[in-house]
Structure 1
Amino acid sequence: MEILTAEHLTKHYGQHIAVNDVNLHVMAGSLVAFLGPNGAGKSTTIRMLTTLSQPSSGFFTINGKNRLKDMRQDIGIVFQESVLDSRLTVRDNLRLRARLYPDVSRQRVDDLLTRVGAAEFAKQAYGSLSGGQRRRVDIARALLNKPRILFLDEPTTGLDIQTRAVIWKILQEMREQDGLTVFLTTHYLEEAEAADDVYVLDQGRIIAHGAAEVLKQQYTHSELVVWPSQHQILTIPTNWHHHFDPQHGTETIEMPSEQSPIDFLSSQQAKIQDFEYHKGSMDDVFLALTGREIRG
């Protein structure tokens, strides 16, 4: 079942086209990564999909609904910047936000605080929290209305590795237990590795779409760096691309398939002193498609 459908979504400001004929099909319960360089139109698209901005043309539906009021019932949003009051306690912030929805009880607030691991600092002022703690509370705030789809606009920017891991563990549990759909924009491309679906946006247009593994197969290659034993010459198939570095004594081989490294290393075991295997990543996909770094 599709939880989000967008057809020919377009947004322009005067002569500038920020989003150009974007089509999206998001399945319920999936993790979708929406990637692109700065200025590609990601945030503009998110603003339209979360009903904060009207498309210039095209349309979209959330959970089969197309009326703004109805769609908003199924949407949760975690913005890049928090919308909570730094002076209020965590619990008071969430209880205040809960009043915006007719059916959100105090018990729902307490349950969410526990689920995101924020119960222990619920009595602290929001402004006194660390970045990771604040982000957990932001997620709880976005889930108050039991949304079907959660939009995360660069949710882990500036957080350390351990905190990012905790955030993703919480989100994965909610996907598994509640069937929550997660729509993500991120500058950390490793977060897109586990995505069920990836869209790459550049200059307002979708330039690639598919599962992360499929995109890596299409746009990257994996390399095997081998240190041959002294006076040994590797037997490399003539149709494989490879390069010998005499300064470091290494042979860099572009692998034509995922199984090739195992087969090759086994066949050349007696001639090899050491090796490193570099698998194609989402960073490589991004650079191959856009020609520049994610923060360019």
Structure 2
Amino acid sequence: MAYRNKNELLDIEGDLFGWDDESSISLTNEALERDAAAERQIELESALEHDEHPLHDEVELETEEEEAAPTSEKLLKREIRAEAVRRLEEAARTEADFSVVIKEWDKLDQNRERRERNYEHLRGDLPLDYQAVSEPKLIPRWMNDTAYRQMMAGNFLDILFNCPYEMHQLTADPFISRMIEELSDDHKEVLYFLSLRLWSATQLALAREQSDRNIRKLRKTIHKGLQRQMFDYLHSKRERGRSLTLRERQFIEEYLALEEEQGKDTVIRRENKNNRRKGKPPLATGTAEGE
């Protein structure tokens, strides 16, 4: 069985998923342009509505003179008005009284909205990427990528260690780092692509020129060894009186429950969220009555 070298295995991801599809990129840019145009239209309509129906300062809580007052005076006035509103709420008994309370709260909301209006960007439910220029002349879009911005900020360790043979450097836990470092190169590759890159067993089998059944069997072997080491470490940690997190305690309880059933082959698998398919009943072999 022929294995691919390290460079071929690391570069094969782009071939599997087809990142260089020009048609998909053009369709994405067109969709972004349409959404950005719709967003600008909504902002224009909102601005026109504010021009036609402006909020009147005389019905708001604070006037321009009160806003220009020192901070201590404004805080004192706000505390007095808040106390007045609280007393109105406690004394309200009739429908007219509650209408007065609602009117006071409306004034508070109008004043808050007026303060925040200059700092709000009315985007609705659209993400920030929709306002990005499709082909900027100064700063290209690929510079907004998370990995590139992290590298330019000097946080390049995650990029350097994003490799099957250096991924043990990605964790600060010395036990987990040593446990992963002691794996063989073959096990590191399988663990990296299945757990970090989230490849499926079929994709990794295609890259390694193996069967997906062999990949799943190898994954089970890796998980069984790692989980056994983790259980022994956490169990000894608890015996020494060290505190454990909730997730660590749940792992110990689940592992102990499975160990009683499976013995030395204990391994915690991911739950299958799909319901098991019911088997069809066997076909009747006998003859019907009366034949």
Q: Which has the higher contact order (CA 8 A, sep 6+)?
A: 1
* TM-score (structure 1 length as normaliser): 0.22
Higher helix fraction (1 or 2): 2
Flag the structure with larger Rg. 2
| TM-score normalised to structure 2 length | 0.23
